Structure formats: C-alpha cells, structure tokens
Structure 1
Amino acid sequence: MTKLSVNVNKIATLRNARGGDVPNVVNVSVDLEKFGAQGITIHPRPDERHIRYQDARDLKKIVTTEFNIEGNPVQKFIDLVLEVNPTQVTLVPDAVDAITSDAGWDTIKHKSFLQEVIKEFKNQGIRTSIFVDPVQEMIEGAKSTGTDRIELYTESYAKLYATDKEAAIRPYIDSALIANELELGINAGHDLSLENIEYFKNSIPNLLEVSIGHALVSEALYYGFETVIAEYLKKLS
C-alpha cells in the first residue's frame, strides 16, 4: 500500500490568518493520525508565513507515524532539520517568495550541493528525498546525489488529467521505471486529489508515499477529515 502523508501547512495558514492558536496544528495532526494518516508533512519557509519553525519542534514530540519536513535547504532549514531529526527530509528548490513549489531540482547543475547536504542528513540517520520533475536526466542525476528517494512533482499530471489522463501519466510511468532500475524510492506530491490519486497510484510501480495538503484540506471542508482520509486510504490500497 502507498502511504498517505498529510501536509498540514494549510492548517497553519488558517491559524495565522486570525492570530492565536486556532486551529491548533499539533491537535489537528494528532487527529489526522487517529483517522488513519500514515505520516505528517510540513513545509516551513523562511518567513514562517504558514508553518512556523516552532511547529516542527512541537510536532516532533507527538507524531507517531512518519514525520516529513520539506523545504529549500538554506542554512536555517538545515539547522532545523538536524535539530528536529524527522523520519524524512524532502529537499525542494523553491524560491523564498514562492507561493507554492513550482519546479523540481536540476540534479545535474546542483549535484555537488545536493551531495553535500544529503550526506549531512544521512549521517544523522534521516531518510532523504529530493523533488524532481518527471525527466529522465533529472532522475538519473538524482541517483548520483546519494538520495534515498525522489518525490515526483505532479502538477503537470494534475493539470492534464481531466482532458487526457493517459498522456498525463506517461512521463511519470517512464520516470518510475527508471527510478526502480536505479533503486531509488518513489514519493509523489503536488495537486494530487481524490479525483486523480487512484489512477496515479495504480499506474506508478512501487509508489511508496504521497504527500497531500491543499486538496485534502479543501475536500475536508465539505466532508470532514475522517471521511476524506478514509477515501484516500481506500484509493491508495
């Protein structure tokens, strides 16, 4: 079964919009695990406009499944990850002012940098994953960085799914086959939803984990977290 990790950034966004501590990110995460989530993901940014660095420290104390921290490995982020020691760190090359992640790593251009950062995390026993586009050269380049896994950036799949799902999935299947040959674990995330997740999961060989935040929280506004998580788990089984 492909594991479901829930990104709670949107919970933090709602909290920060009003000030105070409602909704409480820690309490929501406890409930998400109780409802069946197999991981909690956060993506702190330097301006802490949604997830705060303190949230990472607080969540480390209570997450009983997998704890995944993703972000751009600037020094502040590296220091946080080494302090908190999550299950997994996912490296994402997002700009400081990016609303959301919008591209994978150029694993050839940034090979030396990624090797250095990944080695530091792996020396502390933290599983590493790097965000990549479904491009053969980038996946082959990812192997040379020493990463344990890749996370396939799925925005293009989500955009094309409604009009031509076979064309949408094709580069991801090809990428997964290459990753399997290279013995790279495969995660995926970005714009995956209840509408498109089942086809993606059934098409991708050895998909280990998906990280879903925006769509899942939006769907939960209508159906509730417990119902939505159960539906995701059914589609991922």
Structure 2
Amino acid sequence: MLVLLPPSEGKAERTTGSPVDLGALSLPELTAARGRVLDELITLCSGDADKAREVLGLSEGLRGEVVRNAALRTAPARPAGEVYTGVLYDALGLGSLSPAARRRARASLLIFSGLWGAVRITDRIPAYRCSGGVKLPGIGALSAFWRGPLAEALPAAAGSGPVLDLRSSAYAAMWRPAGEPARRTVTVRVLQSRLVNGVEKRSVVSHFNKATKGRLVRGLLEAGPLPRTPAGLTGALRDLGWTVEESAPGQLDVVVTEV
C-alpha cells in the first residue's frame, strides 16, 4: 500500500549536520526537477526579500523564512519524517511507532512537497518554506511543473496495492493517478456527525481533518500487514473502529462524532 500525505507548513530545523544530497533522495527520476526548483527558490530568496515574501505568500513576520530558503544548499538536513510537524504529523507520531510499524511507514508513506516533489520519510532534507501553490519566476506554478516528473516516477512507486490519497488539493494537483493505479486509489473525507433537534447533521471537518487522518494512518501502520486491496483497506479501517462509508467509487467518508 502507498499512502500519499501532504507536507506541513511548520518544519523542525536542525542546527548541525550535512546538507541535502539530491542524488541520495528516493525517486531518483525527480533529481533534475528537484535541482531546478531548488535553484529557482534560492535565487528568488537571495534577492529582493519583499518580492520573495510576496511570491511565497509569507507575512512580514515570516521574513526569516526567506533567509532560511536562501541557504538551502548548505543548511543541515534531517529525515523528512522528523522535519514535518503540525497537526497531522503530531497525530501520526512517527517517532513513537513500534519497530514493525516504523518499517511499514518507511516503505509506504510518501510526502508531497512543492520543493522536492515527493519524498520518503527517511529522505534527508533541510527545513524550507515553499508550498505547492507557489508560482516561482522562471518555472511558474509548481503544481503544474511537477505533473510531468511525478507522472514518470510514481506509477512504479504505487506498486500493485491500494493507494490511500490523503493529500490536500494543492498537492493532489501535482499528481493524479491514472490507469490501473487510479482504479486502486482511495481518497478520504472526514465528516462530523451531530444531532440537531433529533436530526443527524453532517459537516466537513476542516482543522481536525488533519488529526483524524494522522490517527487513521497510525492505526493502519500499527495494526499489522497493510491491506492489499481497496476493499481490504475499507475493512481494515472498520476493524480499527472507524465509521466508514463509501460515498462514491474510490471515495470513503470517515464519520466522527468527536473531533
């Protein structure tokens, strides 16, 4: 099974260590594209800081992110599973997984990124700021830029099992499974169920959507061997105690009462 995750805006920074080695990252088919985006981002952030903030969508209070981006070639790197923080990754708790679950995570999790395209949790990267919705001078929209390279690299990574797609819209636009992988892809929507005057009302969960998805993935990793089919994935989630409904082919609704 392959699990597609979004990155997080928040990232943990390391103060010592060796920098990123593009040639050592997984999915080597992306190396040239990664180098191009990295060079464009560094050039942008090494010039007019106000222009860089505007392009990256950063507030004045995040001016330091521009300085950090300018030094990405020499910045200390650490495993991506330690770099990404935030609600989803706090709920996923990679650092506290059992040894067996950690092995499954290394093999099955793929984190999408406006800068790197997609990385495994073991890939060593520096902290950076560049979302998938950014349009870089010289490259344009990153979501469009990555479609070609990812379309070449990811079908093989998808293997023959289910693809659990938990990405947000900006990152889903970078690669949409096609052909056989598309028929094995499952997306998840988190809905909150509440009783209003005795009538059930459901609404899409926003902020806590991330926490639910993190807990969902953690449960699958800890439960044992990962499902080998979309139907098996649905059954595994129900076995873990989730209320799961198929709202459309390839789309599951996870219904929660508490967030």
**TM-score w.r.t. structure 2 length?**
0.30
Asked which structure has the greater RCO (Cα within 8 Å, sep 6+), the reply is: 2
Looking at secondary structure, tell me which structure has more helix per residue. 1
The TM-score normalised by the length of structure 1 is 0.32
